[in-house]
Amino acid sequence: MNIRKKPWISRRTFLRGTGVALALPYLEAMMPQSLLAAPMPEAPSRMGMFYFGTGMNMRQFWPEQTGLDAKSSRILQPLEKHRGDFTAISGTYLAEGGGHDGAYPFSTSIAKGKKQQRSPDQIAAQAIGSDTRFASLQLSVDRGTNYGHQALATISWNEQGVPLAAENDPKVLFDKLFRPDTPDEKMQEKKEFRRRQSILDLVRDDAKQLASKLGQTDREQLEQYYHSVRELELSLAKRVEWADTPKPPIETDNLHGTYAKKMAGPEGNGDYLYDDYAKLMYDLIALAFQTDSTRVVSYVVRKELAGGVYPEFNVSQGYHSLSHHGNDPQSLEELARVDTIYMQHWAYLLDRLKSIREGDRTLLDRTLLGLSSGMGFEHSKNNLPTILSGGGDLGVEHHGHLKLEQEAPLASLWHTMLDRVGVPVDGPFQDSSGTIAPLVS
């Protein structure tokens, strides 16, 4: 007879200090104890939807061959080390996409100007997010919704078809995950960061007491987690420190207008190099999933029209201008360069999720991430730059490059993702033609 006992650490355990609460990652000590080695329960499923505005340079996006062994294209080369954990899906479309209103139908299949419906991330949040502190998190390079404008800042919609505001500040997101949201804490936050008063310092006593009771595997996993938190804190603290340092004057006559003009979010505000910003946001997503603070994320990585490129990319025009390339070799080359940089950051997120162990699997194995755009190449609504990543432990079969026999609505990708994370879809789902069968093992 298999006699099971309750785990001695609750999945909802927090390390606490003055004004902070640090959630714990998935540990063996949270598993049900058994006299006869009870099977380890599955870690929760997670899901993320990611929007890349203004499409991509599809001429250098698709591999020439199909299948798991297809040679990587230039833009997908950064994902090479994750072969077997992603699929580039050729043949998805948005019936109401194309042009610059594609962010509106991206997650709902409903055009701008019409009443929206609940987006897939919110369907998932209702089904698998009830046990987490945040049923879902909405992230973006711009704060708010921008509802009514083409450069929509969110892809999340509630049951009433109302857009859900997104957050673009890594510091705000960090505090949301790890600091109680009280007026006193808000007043003290800059002072605490300047004193380098780390979250880990504030929970040190709780952490030491916990570590003394854990096995070697759990202690190693906690050390990895603490290191990630500390690195993130140091990056944010550096930003606060530099915030009050006057910037040197520069000559702007020879700068392209995209860079001379201050734009919303991280674009042009001087607070970050985009490489730093992108990694901070992806680190926060990994920590949010690792601590089970949320299981559902949406992220507008690149908006329509405004921005999309940064000074360190070393290109001559904004992303939207480059997309009107007119077959100019330089514009096409610069588009491919920018898209490859974005895929380098995507590979960074996969690296982070793959480095986090959950029992004998990784966080990436239990997480499904779908990325695409509201347009393909040259503002088309067809052949979108669609990639599914992760989910190896969720019954997903990856193909490297999958060319669909028949074109499928983008909704079929969301349908497939919901199905694989265990969210039932009753009846018709948007304009989906059903789950994408080759992706389901």
| Residue of 304, 275, 329 lying closest to 106 (CA atoms) | 304
d(CA 439, CA 131): 28
CA-to-CA dists, residue 34 to 4, 6, 39, 71, angstroms? 4, 8, 9, 47
113: buried, middle or exposed (CB in 10 Å: 19+, 13-18, 0-12)?
Answer: exposed
Torsion of CA 400, 403, 405, 408, to 10 degrees: 100
List the Cα angle 146/149/154 in 5-degree steps: 40
Say which amino acid occupies 62.
W
CA 166/CA 141 separation, integer angstroms: 9
pLDDT per residue, tens digit, the chain (441 aa), is 344 454 457 767 778 877 777 888 878 777 665 434 445 556 899 999 999 999 999 999 999 999 999 999 999 999 999 999 999 999 999 999 988 999 999 999 999 999 999 999 999 999 999 889 899 999 999 999 999 988 999 999 999 999 999 999 998 898 888 875 555 655 555 554 444 468 888 888 888 888 888 888 888 888 888 888 888 888 777 655 434 444 333 232 322 222 223 333 565 555 668 998 999 999 999 999 999 999 999 999 999 987 899 988 999 999 999 999 999 999 999 999 999 999 999 999 999 999 999 988 999 999 999 999 999 998 899 999 999 999 999 999 999 999 999 999 999 999 999 999 999 998 899 999 999 999 998
Contact 337, 313 (CB under 8 A): yes
> Which DSSP state fits 286?
H
Residues 259-307 have pLDDT tens digits of: 223 333 565 555 668 998 999 999 999 999 999 999 999 999 999 987 8
Closest Cα partner for 103 from 64, 151, 135? 151
Closest by Cα among 371, 345, 349, 372 to 362: 349
What is the token pair recorded at 162? Answer: 């109302």
Q: How far is CA 116 from the centre of its chain?
A: 23
Which pairing describes strands 14-17 and 20-23: parallel, antiparallel, or unpaired?
antiparallel
Q: Domains of the chain: which residue ranges?
A: 1-38+173-247
Q: What is the pLDDT of residue 246?
A: 42
Place of tokens 């072969």: 83
The 3-state DSSP class for residue 94 equals coil
Q: How many whole angstroms separate alpha carbon 421 and alpha carbon 441?
A: 13
Task: Write the CA distances from 83 to 77, 120, 300, 362, 400, integer angstroms.
Answer: 10, 26, 25, 15, 6
Q: Per DSSP, what are the bridge partners of residue 371?
A: 50, 387
Structure tokens at 384: 């979108």
Determine the Cα–Cα distance for residues 296 and 138; give it in Å rounded to an integer: 9
Cβ atoms 385, 76 nearer than 8 A: no
Q: What's residue 250's pLDDT?
A: 27
| Residues 109 and 120: beta-carbon distance below 8 Å | no
Q: How far apart are CA 401 and CA 364, in angstroms?
A: 19
